């Protein structure tokens, strides 16, 4: 009996976007090579309790995925609600996998669970990890309820989309959920859950027009040059995310520029440490977080800069008028 005959209505779709998982060595360097069918050919040898459909969405390095791509991807996944799908696996490059997963958590208006996965080693590597990661993603979907949860699955670990971060350039265990802990682990071909799925976030509806929602991400460093920041602000971004020093601090020479910018656009304060939340009631000196928040900057809370930028850009695309208020509301409900 084929897996289609065993359960014709229980369906999972695997959507391939490219990335290292689909790359092979060509003339001394890795580049996209395997289309969806070739990448997933190994699944024919494995018996799963559901029907698996395949869609090749793109075949690019993840640095070349765009906001327009993510919007189209989320719309496609949303459309699967009416076709009796119970889960989706998205494969892509790991460089931007945490941003894709977070965007899908915000945009995919679906009760279908989504497992985003990739590989740290190419398809031509002697110990490629891609097939194992795809299998683990399918195991997660087989053992989870359809509540619209979005996770990242690599190296047998399961991370909630809003918590996961890439913390190493090449290790197989490159991803971490930090202080919040793993959502779970694939153990003996089953999901062993360590934490409950986080409370769903309010979904955003956005169009493919991103022309008026440019959001810049800027790290703050030792003795940052004020003229450089002033030039950046003059470019006229719709929003600015700062990866500030420590718990939310900047050199005081930047204060006039930042205060002026915060009167016109959302300016979000995150930490360049990427671990721990921005303080709000601790440091009161000029350039400390209390001073910056009083000048109109917005706390990014626990969000790292790349996810704060993702959220702010999508909010600006959705409704720029109240983006500051809504950003703060999202931050309060994340954790």
Residue range 47-60, pLDDT digits in tens: 888 899 999 999 99
Which tokens sit at 280? 């709000």
Q: Where in the chain is the domain with CATH 3.40.50.1170?
A: 3-193
Give the confidence band of 2 by pLDDT, cuts at 50, 70, 90.
very low
Q: Where in the chain is the domain with CATH 3.40.50.40?
A: 215-333
Q: Output the pTM of the full model.
A: 0.94
pLDDT of residue 4: 42
For range 133-154, the mean pLDDT: 94
Return d(Cα 66, Cα 171) in angstroms, integer: 26
Return d(Cα 144, Cα 184) in angstroms, integer: 11
pLDDT of residue 6: 44
pLDDT of residue 7: 46
| Mean of all residue pLDDT scores within the chain | 93
For range 183-200, the mean pLDDT: 96
215-333 maps to which CATH number?
3.40.50.40
For 18, residues 6+ apart whose C-beta sits below 8 A from its C-beta are: 32, 58, 59, 60, 61, 62, 92, 93
pLDDT of residue 3: 43
Residue range 250-289, pLDDT digits in tens: 999 999 999 999 999 999 999 999 899 999 999 999 999 9
Residue range 225-247, pLDDT digits in tens: 999 899 989 999 999 999 999 99
Return d(Cα 314, Cα 68) in angstroms, integer: 11
Instruction: Report the DSSP pairing between strands 23-26 and 11-18.
Output: unpaired
For range 288-298, the mean pLDDT: 98
Beta carbons of 194 and 181 less than 8 angstroms apart: yes
Check if CATH label 3.40.710.10 holds for domain 3-193: no
pLDDT of residue 257: 96
Give the confidence band of 1 by pLDDT, cuts at 50, 70, 90.
very low
């Amino acid at each position: 009996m084929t897996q289609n005959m065993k359960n014709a209505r229980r369906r999972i779709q695997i959507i391939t976007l490219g990335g290292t998982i689909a790359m092979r060595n060509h003339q001394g360097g890795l580049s996209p090579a395997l289309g969806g069918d070739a990448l997933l050919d190994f699944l024919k040898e494995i018996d799963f309790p559901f029907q698996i459909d395949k869609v090749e969405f793109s075949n690019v390095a993840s640095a070349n995925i765009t906001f327009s791509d993510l919007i189209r991807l989320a719309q496609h996944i949303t459309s699967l609600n009416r076709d009796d799908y119970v889960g989706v696996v998205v494969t892509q490059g790991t460089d931007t996998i945490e941003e894709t997963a977070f965007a899908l958590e915000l945009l995919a208006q679906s009760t279908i669970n989504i497992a985003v996965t990739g590989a740290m080693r190419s398809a031509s590597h002697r110990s490629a990890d891609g097939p194992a990661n795809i299998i683990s993603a399918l195991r997660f979907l087989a053992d989870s309820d359809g509540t619209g949860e979005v996770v990242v699955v690599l190296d047998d670990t399961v991370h909630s989309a809003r918590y996961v971060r890439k913390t190493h350039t090449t290790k197989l265990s490159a991803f971490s959920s930090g202080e919040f802990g793993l959502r779970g682990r694939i153990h003996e071909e089953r999901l062993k859950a360590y934490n409950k799925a986080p409370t769903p976030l309010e979904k955003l509806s956005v169009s493919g027009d991103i022309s008026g929602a440019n959001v810049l991400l800027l790290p703050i460093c030792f003795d940052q040059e004020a003229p450089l920041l002033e030039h950046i602000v003059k470019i006229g971004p719709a929003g600015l995310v700062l990866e500030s020093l420590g718990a939310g601090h900047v050199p005081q020479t930047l204060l006039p520029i930042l205060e002026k910018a915060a009167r016109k656009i959302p300016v979000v304060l995150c930490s360049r440490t990427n671990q721990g939340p921005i303080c709000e009631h601790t440091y009161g000196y000029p350039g400390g977080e209390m001073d910056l928040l009083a000048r109109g900057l917005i706390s990014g809370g626990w969000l790292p800069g790349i996810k704060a930028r993702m959220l702010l850009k999508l909010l600006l695309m959705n409704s720029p008028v109240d983006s500051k208020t809504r950003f703060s509301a999202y931050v309060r409900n994340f954790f």
